[in-house]
A and B are shown apart, each in its own frame.
Chain A
């Protein structure tokens, strides 16, 4: 149980295009999901908290107009990187949490390369 999937697993796009990444909880409902970004050999940086049925909460320094988050159902959150640039190339990971502050279940990640 507690499986989180992400799609796609990797994507290459041209600069200026938008990319949508999906995060799904496969066998449980998640009112809250989290989006992280990880640069090579670095730790995970929380970008935003995705709340089902309401607006996402973004961390300081994360542009909400650039990283659009939609949590349309209890099992799906999407992250859209709008007008992607090479500096947006990174590993994007989502997670879905249990009860407050408890174990989070992570997706396998999406590697984005912007040319």
Chain B
């Protein structure tokens, strides 16, 4: 079953602007991961943040994690047309073996 909820479900912004997506989850986690999916393709891993971390950066990506609120955010700065894709958060639960539970996703459209 889906654990995560993401908002917004869809987001359209102008190229160069920043995009922020949020993810909420329900159970205790080992880590939270963000993935990108271009239309009709597989998923690409973007970033992993562990439960004892609060913020992580990778290039134009910034991820925060608030375990007290069971939420995470993904910020993409200086967006580009190539960032147009669906973005999913996925949680790895404590004692969940290697299983990931995916959120509902945010469809991001960057307008050139």
Point out residues on A near B: beta carbons under 8 Å. 4, 6, 32, 34, 36, 41-46, 49, 60, 91, 93, 95, 97-109, 111
User: B105 near A43 (CB under 8 angstroms)?
Assistant: yes
Q: Which of A42, A60, A104 has the most CB of B within 10 A?
A: A104
Compute how far the CA of A101 lies from the CA of B93 in the bound complex, rounded to whole angstroms.
Answer: 8
Compute how far the CA of A103 lies from the CA of B90 in the bound complex, rounded to whole angstroms.
Answer: 10
A-B residue pairs, 4 tightest by C-beta: A101-B92, A106-B43, A97-B98, A108-B42
- Looking at chain A's contact residues, the main secondary structure is strand
Q: How many A-B residue pairs have CB under 8 A?
A: 75
Instruction: Give every chain B residue within 8 A of A103 (Cβ-Cβ).
Output: 33, 45, 48
Instruction: Give every chain B residue within 8 A of A104 (Cβ-Cβ).
Output: 33, 45, 98, 100
CB distance from A16 to the nearest CB of B (A): 26
Instruction: Give every chain A residue within 8 A of B31 (Cβ-Cβ).
Output: 101-102
Interface residues of B in 68-88 (CB under 8 A from A): 88
Compute how far the CA of A41 lies from the CA of B92 in the bound complex, rounded to whole angstroms.
Answer: 23
CB distance from A84 to the nearest CB of B (A): 20
Point out residues on B near A: beta carbons under 8 Å. 1-2, 30-31, 33, 35, 40-45, 48, 88, 92-93, 96-105, 107
Instruction: Give every chain B residue within 8 A of A44 (Cβ-Cβ).
Output: 43, 88, 102
Q: Which of B93, B102, B107 has the most CB of A within 10 A?
A: B102
Q: With A43-B88, A43-B104, A44-B88 in contact, is A106–B42 under 8 Å at CB? A: yes
User: B99 near A34 (CB under 8 angstroms)?
Assistant: yes
Compute how far the CA of A49 lies from the CA of B100 in the bound complex, rounded to whole angstroms.
Answer: 11
7 A-B pairs, CB-CB below 8 angstroms? A4-B42, A43-B105, A44-B88, A46-B99, A101-B93, A102-B31, A109-B40
Besides A34-B98, A100-B30, A111-B40, 4 more A-B contacts (Cβ < 8 Å) are: A49-B99, A91-B40, A101-B93, A106-B35
Instruction: Give every chain A residue within 8 A of B30 (Cβ-Cβ).
Output: 100-101
